[in-house]
Structure 1
C-alpha cells in the first residue's frame, strides 16, 4: 500500500471465490510467479494444529494469544478490523487477539525493531516495496506464505498481479529455507496478502462545485479549468497538507501519472529509465504552478495531513486529492455532499489512471509461535465475508464481494467501487513511488517539501530522484536482479 496514514463468523467453504474478470485482467504490471508450494503441496501433514485435509484448525491449537500489529486507526478500517477480530475470537474461543494499532508513521518507525526483538508480533502489516517488505525479508523477519496460499485458495481468490505485489524474489539458500535473502519485489515467494484495494482519488464537495456554477468534471481540462473558477469565487480549489511529508508523494504521483502513466509504472517496477525526464519535470512544474496560483494552500508544508482532510470535510476546499482509506472519515461529516472519482482522463470517456493498488500486506513473522493460527487469521480477514464487512464500513476490499453490488451507485461508496473496477478494467493503476528504492521515501518526501517551498526547481527535483534511483537500479541490474524466472 504505499505511503498512507492510510470479516466473518461463518464456516469456511472450499468453494472457489469468484474474482471479477475485469479485476483479474487489471494491474497487469508483473508476470505471474509460479513458486514452490503455491498448490499447497508443502502443507504440514494432517494440517498441523489438528486440522484435516491440510487446512489448519485453530480450535485445536490450544490456548493461543495472537499478537497483531496493524495501522488501521481510521474510522472505517478500525471498525471493520475490530468486527472481524471479534468474530474470529467468537469462532475460535481458545484464541485471544492482542491488537496493537499504530498510525502508519509510528508503525513504519517501530516495526523493524519489534520484528527483530526476542518477542515479535505474530502478524504485522508491512508496507510493500524495497524500504520495508524487501528489507524485512532480507533480514529473515517474515515467513513465506506460499503453502498457505495453496491451502486457502488465495491463488484463485486474488488475481496474480495483486499477489505479486506481496512477493520478494529468492536471494540464496537461506531464502529457500524461509528466511534471509530477498532481492526484488514483485516476483518470487509470497510474504503477505492485502485486505483492501485503494487508489488516490479526486474527492470533491458537490455543494462547493454547484455554488461556483460547476458540474463534476469529466476530463482533466474541465477539472483544471475549474480550479481558476473556484479561486475567482473565493474558494480554495484543492485542500492539501504536507507537514507529514509523504502526502505530496501522492499528489505528485497523480500528476506524473497524468503525463505518462506507463513510464511511471515501469520506473517503479525497476524496468524504466528513471526520473530525469520530461513527464517528471512537467508534473513537478504543474505542482509548483498550482501553488503559485493559489490552487493549493501556500502553507501546505506546515499543515498536517489529518488537519487538511478535516478542513476539507468541514467545508474548506472544493477538492481533496487523497487515498480511498479516507472514505469513511470523509463520508461521516459530509454525507451526500461528498463525491469521489478517479483522476480524470484527457478526453471524456477515456481511460483514467492514478497511483494505487492494494493496502499494506498482512504478513506472518518468522518467529511466530503460532504460524498456522496466524495464517488462518489472514484467511479470515480477507475472505468474501470479510470483503462484505469492509464494504459495509465504507472500506474498499481488494476483491469486492456481494455487498459491493448492493451499494447505491450514486453514493460516494458506489462511486469509489465503480472507479476501482474501472481502473482495473483499464489497467489504470500505477504502483506507489516509494516502492522504487530502499531510500526513495526519504528522497521523494524531502525533495517535494523543498519543491513546494520554492527551494529547488522542477529540474533539480527530478535530478534528486534520479540520483537515488539510478545508482540503486544500476547495482540491482549489475547483480542480476530480475533474472529469476517468473514461472516454475
Structure 2
C-alpha cells in the first residue's frame, strides 16, 4: 500500500464556492425529452470524457480508477473512457465555468453539498439523472441514505432531496476510530465493542501514561472529525439527516450538544494530545502512525501509513453507539460524479456511472487496499487493517446507517463549528453555544432559500 497523505479537508465537505455563471452550448434535448438508452450495443463507438481528481496513478485511489476504467472498457469495448485528472483545487475553482462552455467533460466531479450538486444543478449545469436512476434501478441497488447525498432540487432550495444529480463511486471513507494494536495489548484490552468499552480504554490509557486520543487542531477544521464521530454515536441518525437536508427538526434534535459536551469532558480529562490546539493535524497523524496515542479519529484511508506492514499494526472501527444500537457512521464516497447538462454522450456516461457504483468497483477497492463505500464484502484480504474496515462497512450497510457530514447543512457550517469548538476548548464557550451557533448559521442560510 502506497503512503497516503492526511486529507486536506473532510471528504466533499470543503468544496470551493463557485462563481455565478449561466449554462451554454447547444447540448442535448431537455431531460423530459430524453430517450434513455441502456443497451451498450445501441450506443455505437463512443468516447466518454471523465474529469477526476485522482492525479496520482500510483496511489490506491489512482490504481482503483485505472482498474475500474480497464474493466469497463473490457466489458464494453465500443466505449472508450478518456480521463482528465487535475487537483481538486483547480477543479473546484473552474468547474462552473467549464460546465458552461461547449466541450465540457461528459462526467465531472461535482461534490456532494451546496457548492457542488446544489449550486450546479440549480444553475442547469448538471444533467437530471432520474431517468437513468429508474432505468438502472439505483434506488433498489444502492442505500437510500447514500443516494440522497447526491440529490438536489432544480430550483436551488434543497439538497438531499429532489432529483438525482450525481452518483457515488463504490469507494469511500467514514469518520473512523483507529487504534494502536500494541498499546491496546499492553493495556490488556481488546478492540472496544461498546461505548463503555471505549471510555474505559481512554481511562486505562491515561492511567498508563499513554495519550488516549491523538489530536491536532491548529488548522481548525480537523476538530470536527472527533465531533462528528461522537455525534454519530450519540445522536439520532434520522434527525441528523433531516436537519442537514432541511427536512425538519433543528440542531438541538441531532445530538450535537451531547456530542460537544462529551468532547469537552474528554478535553477536561486530558484525553487528547497535550496542547492539541497548537498541533497541526498532519503532525498529530504522523505521530499516531509512529506510535503516539492509543486512538485517533480520522477518515478511513487517509492516515499517512508508509506501507501495509505499518498499517497492519493498527486497527479501525466505527465508534459504537452509546445506546448500543446499530452502527451509524458519517461518510461519503471519495468522489461524487455527475453528467454535464450539455453532454452528447449521456447514455454511455450513465453506464459508466453505474459501473463505478457496482460491486465490481467495490472489489477493485479491496484489491487496492481501500474500503468500498457500500455493499457486503468478505473481510478476507491479506491486510488486517483493511479487514477491520470491511467489517465496519458491512455493519453500517446492514443498518443503512450512513450519515451525511453535518456541515453540509450550509456552505459555511464547518466554519461555524470550527470557531465555536475552539471557543469551547478555551473556556469561552459551552456545548449549548455550539448548538446555538449551528442553528443561527442554518437559519441565516435557509432564509435565503
* TM-score bucket (shorter structure): 0.7 to 0.9
1:378 aligns with 2:353: yes
SS at match of 2:201: helix
Give the C-alpha shift of residue 288 in structure 1: 2.7
- Which of 429, 443, 446 is residue 456 of structure 1 equivalent to? 429
Q: Give distance in 1, aligned partners of 2:93 and 2:274.
A: 29
Identify the match of residue 240 of structure 2 among 261, 264, 269: 264
1:445 corresponding residue in structure 2? 418
Task: Compute the displacement of 1:345 (Å).
Answer: 2.8
The 5-angstrom pairing of residues 187-336 of structure 1 reads 187-195=161-169, 196-262=171-237, 263-276=239-252, 279-326=255-302, 329=305, 332-336=308-312
Number of the residue aligned with 1:351: 326
CA distance in 2 between partners of 1:86 and 1:76 (Å): 15
Counterpart residue number, 2:440: 467
- Alpha-carbon distance in 1 for matches of 2:259, 2:144: 31
- 1:408 CA displacement: 5.3
Sort the Cα spacing of 1:317 and 1:116 in 2 relative to 1 into closer, same or farther, 3 A.
farther
CA separation of 1:44 and 1:259: change in aligned 2, threshold 3 A: closer
Deviation at 1:369, TM superposition (A): 4.6
Residues 112-151 of structure 1 mapped to structure 2, 5 A cutoff: 112-116=96-100, 120-151=104-135
Deviations 1:439-479 (A, max 9, x none): 32332233334444555333332221111112334565xxx
Distance 2:135 2:11 in 1: 32
- 8 Å CA contact 2:216, 2:281 repeated in 1: yes
Alignment partners' CA distance in 1, 2:389 and 2:381: 11
Pairing 1:35-46 to 2, within 5 Å after superposition: 44=35
1:327–1:394 Cα contact (<8 Å) kept: no
Name structure 1 gaps, 5 residues minimum: 7-39, 48-52, 172-181, 477-488
Shift of residue 436, structure 1, vs aligned partner: 0.9
Measured at CA, do residues 85 and 420 of structure 1 come closer, stay the same or move farther in structure 2, by a change above 3 Å? same
CA contact under 8 A between 2:110 and 2:116: conserved in structure 1?
Answer: yes
**Given the superposition, is the C-alpha separation of residues 372 and 304 from structure 1 closer, same or farther in structure 2, using an over 3 Å criterion?**
farther
Q: What is the aligned-residue RMSD (CA, Å)?
A: 3.4
Q: 2:366 corresponds to which residue? A: 391
Instruction: Provide closer, same or farther for how the CA distance between residues 162 and 282 of structure 1 changes in structure 2, counting only shifts above 3 A.
Output: closer
Q: Which runs of 5+ in 2 are unaligned?
A: 1-8, 13-30
C-alpha distance in structure 1 between counterparts of 2:147 and 2:372, whole Å: 14
Spell out the pairing of 1:77-156 with structure 2 (5 A cutoff).
Answer: 77-88=61-72, 92=77, 95=80, 97-103=82-88, 107-116=91-100, 120-156=104-140
Which deviations, in whole Å up to 9, do the C-alpha atoms of 1:1-23 show, x marking residues without a partner? xx6257xxxxxxxxxxxxxxxxx
- Report the Cα distance in structure 2 between the residues aligned to 1:164 and 1:261, rounded to whole angstroms: 17
Structure 2 partner of 1:70: 53
